[in-house]
Amino acid sequence: MFGIRIGVEPSWFVVLFLVIYLLANDFRTLFDDGTAYALAALSAVLFFVSVLLHELGHAVVALRNGIGIKGIDLWMFGGVATLERDTDSPGVELRVAVAGPLVTLLIATACFGVGTLVAGTDRAVDAGLFDLANNDELLAVLGYLTSINVLLLVFNLIPAFPLDGGRIARSIAWKLTGDRTRATRIAARLGRGFSFLMVGIGLFLVIQDEVFSGIWLAVIGVFLGGAARSAERQSELTSRIDGLRVSDVMDAEPVAIPAELPLDRALEEFFLRHRSPWFPVVDALEALVGLVVREAVEGVPEAARASRTVASVMAADLGTDRSGLRVGVEEPLEALLGLDGLSRLGAIMAVDPEGRLRGIVTMDQVRQALAPEAAVQQ
Closest residue by Cα to residue 313 from 354, 257, 356: 257
60 lies in the same domain as 167: yes
124 Cβ contact list (under 8 Å, min separation 6)? 112, 115, 116, 130, 131
229 lies in the same domain as 263: no
Residue 222 lies in a domain: yes
Residue 178: the pLDDT is 87
106 Cβ contact list (under 8 Å, min separation 6)? none
Residue 104: the pLDDT is 95
Name the strands in the sheet holding 78-83, side by side, starting at the edge strand that comes first in the sequence.
Answer: 6-8, 69-75, 78-83
Residues linked to residue 347 through DSSP beta bridges, in sequence order: 362
Q: What is the DSSP letter of 85?
A: S
Residue 186 lies in a domain: yes
Residue 1 lies in a domain: no
**What is the C-alpha separation between 371 and 16, in angstroms, rounded?**
42
Residue 378: the pLDDT is 41
Residue ranges in the chain modelled with pLDDT below 70: 120-135, 235-243, 317-324, 335, 337-341, 370-378
Residue 306: the pLDDT is 92
Residue 159 lies in a domain: yes
12 lies in the same domain as 89: yes
190 lies in the same domain as 314: no
348 lies in the same domain as 334: yes
CA distances from 302 to 264, 267, 295, 305, 308 (A): 8, 11, 13, 5, 10
338 lies in the same domain as 233: no
197 lies in the same domain as 164: yes
159 lies in the same domain as 279: no
Residue 367: the pLDDT is 76
Answer with the one of 215, 241, 267 that is the final residue of a domain: 241
138 lies in the same domain as 161: yes
80 lies in the same domain as 202: yes
26 lies in the same domain as 136: yes
Residue 93: the pLDDT is 92
Q: Pairing between strand 347-351 and 357-362?
A: antiparallel
Residue 134 lies in a domain: yes
What is the maximum alpha-carbon separation in the chain?
Answer: 85
Residue 338 lies in a domain: yes
Residue 132: the pLDDT is 46
Q: Show the domain range for 45.
A: 6-241
Residue 99 lies in a domain: yes
Residue 111 lies in a domain: yes
360 lies in the same domain as 331: yes
> What is the domain count for the chain?
2
Answer with the one of 241, 276, 307 that is the final residue of a domain: 241
Answer with the one of 199, 215, 241 that is the final residue of a domain: 241
Give the CATH number, domain containing residue 255: 3.10.580.10
